[in-house]
Amino acid sequence: MNETAPRATARTWVGLAVLVLPMLLIAIDGVVLVFALADIAGDLRPTGTQQLWILDIYSLMLAGLLITMSSLGDRFGRRKVLLIGAVVFAIASVFGALSTAPWMLIASRALLGVAGATIMPGTLSLIRNMFLDRGQRRTAMAVWSAAGALGAAAGPIVGGWIIEVFSWHAVFLMNIPVMVLLLGLAPFLVPESKNPHPGRVDLPSIAFSLTGMISFVYGVKTFAEGKEPGIALITFFAGLALLVLFVRRQLRMPEPMINVRLFRVRAFTGAVTADLLSVFALVGALFALTQFLQIVAGLSVIESALWMLPQAAVSACAGFLAAALVKRIPTSTVVAAGGLVTAGGFAILLTITPATEPWVIAISLCLVGLGAGVGMTLTNDLIMSSVRPEQSGQAAAISETAYELGTAFGTAILGSVLLGFYRTGLVDAAPAGLSGGILESAKETLAAAVLYAKDLPGAMGAALYTAATESFTSALAWTGGIAALILLAVAIFAGGMLRGVSAQADLAEVEH
């Protein structure tokens, strides 16, 4: 197919730029609210539970609705559903900016999650239909991946500046111009596409996927917080059971919402699994690095973000490097090499101490960005090339769902590992004579330990500070080592699963 596929025009590439805009914004939006939470807490006075819902409801709605929204795009038109999502995103942003009570902000964040689930798979599936030539599509995927990397890195800088100059309300208002631009340009530059044979709307499938994913991810997040283990287990297994029912129903349907038989394709399964495990390792370890830079190294939010900015630049360029390398080197080799480079970046963390300079972290992150940028650009290309254009919504939904699950598990599992090592180290290193109440509170987070250390007198405060920062740094080193081992396994796995996969022909044509 690749030799005869029509090549993209200049108009198509401009259309890609339009599709990248919402992805850039959603990547920024995913991290910026964390830095606005202190101001929101002072203004709206939410309870601790409400604060968690303000942060978590977005990702819960996003994960739960990805499959449903991609299915609606396949049926009614991907561009049409994308534009509806942009309208909802803008309305939710206004509602968020005008919030005067915690429930209003939670509702707006939920609505933003609904809109995000509409936009994210839509961009990927539209790219699959706009770029039929495999080589051009791989470059388009590199642009799409670069937008996500730059958005995530720019989030703390943009958010910190907006909050400092304006207020937390402006964090929501920045979304509106981008969505207006998308609504104005997409109808002229992005062609409509849909599945000509989408099958019927299946309400039980929608119910199983929505409630199953929300329950599953909520269970993981609740377990990570460690406050309600009983509820966490119930929701986790309830979600798992509902997802099993969803899969069984899809296997019986002639035209399923999601073609789970795609996992019979070795390249597709290898790419999705590699993506999920890579995100799992990346999110879990990067979360700890931000705490190290801000609390142990004593940098401000914006200073920390600036030290992490080189990683975003390297990651953005890595996608284009991958597109060039795969023309001459087998896909499996390039993806495996990316995993090895990422593992090497995390292995550097095994050497860190509380006195480690930020530039060492920056080098580690650059290697992580290089390896992840190379590997995940190609795995995204493989996922979308595994299906015919009319089935692109299904592949996009699976790809985005793998990303969300990797994020949830990385935060929960590696976050719990980090906390476990930190608590064990702090108990062993805590100064003698420290009251049990203070020690228990200091064990919850590094930030709490540092606050108590500042309040305690003289030598006792200094000893607690040293014990806490050294314990956290040691825990970070262990977590980085675990992430390195996971990515080493990803490299070996990808090298085997993707062996012999063509970088030129569309896999859907080869497999079918």
Q: What percent of the chain has pLDDT over 90?
A: 18
Query: What value does the CA radius of gyration of the chain take, rounded to a whole number of Å?
Result: 23
Average pLDDT of the segment spanning 377-405: 82
Q: How is residue 455 written in tokens?
A: 């309040």
pLDDT for residue 508 is more than 70: no
**Per-residue confidence (pLDDT) for residue 227, from 0 to 100:** 67
Average pLDDT of the segment spanning 78-88: 92
Domain 7-196 identical in fold to domain 264-512: yes
Q: Among 234-248, 279-293, 427-441, 495-509, which is the least confidently predicted range?
A: 495-509
> Between these two residues, 236 and 407, which has the higher pLDDT value?
236
Q: What percent of the chain has pLDDT over 70?
A: 94
pLDDT for residue 347 is more than 90: yes
Residues for the chain: how many in total?
Answer: 512
Q: Among 246-255, 468-477, 498-507, which is the least confidently predicted range?
A: 498-507
Spatial distance between the Cα atoms of 358 and 79, rounded to a whole number of angstroms: 43
Spatial distance between the Cα atoms of 263 and 266, rounded to a whole number of angstroms: 7
pLDDT tens-digit series, residues 122-145 = 888 888 888 888 788 888 888 888
pLDDT for residue 164 is more than 80: no
Task: Return the CATH superfamily for domain 7-196.
Answer: MFS general substrate transporter like domains (1.20.1250.20)
Across 262-266, 338-342, 494-498, the highest mean pLDDT is recorded for 338-342
Across 171-185, 272-286, 422-436, the highest mean pLDDT is recorded for 171-185
**Per-residue confidence (pLDDT) for residue 241, from 0 to 100:** 94
Q: How is residue 484 written in tokens?
A: 């390195």
**Per-residue confidence (pLDDT) for residue 1, from 0 to 100:** 43
* Residue whose C-alpha is closest to residue 244's, from 264, 224, 260: 260
For the chain, domain boundaries: 7-196, 200-254, 264-512
Answer whether 205's CB lies under 8 Å from 245's CB: no
DSSP string, 366-388: HHHHHHHHHHHHHHHHHHHHTS-
**Under DSSP, is residue 435 helix (H, G, I), strand (E, B) or coil?**
coil
When pLDDT is cut at 50, 70 and 90, the band that residue 199 belongs to is low
Mean pLDDT of the chain: 83
**Per-residue confidence (pLDDT) for residue 90, from 0 to 100:** 93
**Per-residue confidence (pLDDT) for residue 512, from 0 to 100:** 42
pLDDT tens-digit series, residues 401-417 = 888 888 777 877 887 88
pLDDT tens-digit series, residues 446-455 = 878 888 888 8
End-to-end Cα, the chain, rounded Å: 12
**Per-residue confidence (pLDDT) for residue 511, from 0 to 100:** 46
Spatial distance between the Cα atoms of 284 and 486, rounded to a whole number of angstroms: 11
Answer whether 163's CB lies under 8 Å from 35's CB: yes
**Per-residue confidence (pLDDT) for residue 502, from 0 to 100:** 65
HSE of 164 in the Cβ direction (CA atoms, 13 Å)? Answer: 9
> Between these two residues, 199 and 221, which has the higher pLDDT value?
221
pLDDT for residue 10 is more than 80: yes
Average pLDDT of the segment spanning 311-318: 83
Task: Return the CATH superfamily for domain 264-512.
Answer: MFS general substrate transporter like domains (1.20.1250.20)
Answer whether 307's CB lies under 8 Å from 433's CB: no
Q: Which pTM was predicted?
A: 0.81
Spatial distance between the Cα atoms of 193 and 184, rounded to a whole number of angstroms: 18
